[in-house]
Amino acid sequence: MLDLVDRVVEEILDAGWPVTPAKPAFSFAAPDETFPAFVVNAGGPVLNIFMTDVRENRHLRRPEWDKTDPGGPAAAYSHPPVYLDIVYVISAWSPASDQQAADPVGVEHRYLGEALRILLRNPDVTPQALGIPSGGTVFNAAHVYLAAAYPEGGQPLNDFWTTMKQGWRLAVQLTVTAPLDLLLDAPTEPIVLTFIQRYLPIGSATAEQRIQIGGQVVRAAGGAPVEGANVRLMAAGREITTDSRGRYSFAGLNPGLHRIRASASGLTPIERDVSVPDGPPADHIFELS
Q: Give residue 264's identity as a one-letter amino acid code.
A: A
pLDDT in tens, 158-190: 889 999 999 889 999 999 999 987 765 444 455
Q: Can you tell me the distance from the alpha carbon of 160 to that of 170, in angstroms, rounded to the nearest whole number?
A: 12
Q: Can you tell me the distance from the alpha carbon of 191 to that of 266, in angstroms, rounded to the nearest whole number?
A: 24
Is residue 97's pLDDT more than 70?
Answer: no
Please state whether beta strands 124-125 and 66-68 pair in parallel, antiparallel, or not at all (unpaired).
unpaired
pLDDT in tens, 45-60: 999 999 999 999 998 8
Contact 178, 85 (CB under 8 A): no
Query: How buried is residue 178: exposed, middle or buried, by Cβ count under 10 Å (0-12/13-18/19+)?
Result: buried
Q: Can you tell me the distance from the alpha carbon of 134 to that of 244, in angstroms, rounded to the nearest whole number?
A: 18
The set of residues, in sequence order, having a beta carbon less than 8 Å from that of 188 and lying 6+ positions away, is 136, 137
DSSP letters for 26-50 = EE-S--STTHHHHHHHHTS-EEEEE
Is residue 100's pLDDT more than 70?
Answer: no
The pLDDT score that the predictor gives to residue 184 is: 55
Say what angle helices 2-16 and 104-120 make with each other, to 10 degrees: 110
Q: Can you tell me the distance from the alpha carbon of 194 to that of 245, in angstroms, rounded to the nearest whole number?
A: 18
Kindly state the average pLDDT of the residues 128-132. 82
Q: Can you tell me the distance from the alpha carbon of 224 to that of 54, in angstroms, rounded to the nearest whole number?
A: 29
Q: Can you tell me the distance from the alpha carbon of 225 to that of 190, in angstroms, rounded to the nearest whole number?
A: 9
- In which band, very low, low, confident or very high, does the pLDDT at 134 lie, cut at 50, 70 and 90? low
The pLDDT score that the predictor gives to residue 64 is: 72
The pLDDT score that the predictor gives to residue 154 is: 61
The pLDDT score that the predictor gives to residue 185 is: 45
- Mean pLDDT taken over the chain: 86
pLDDT in tens, 22-80: 999 999 999 999 999 999 998 899 999 999 999 999 988 877 766 666 555 555 666 77
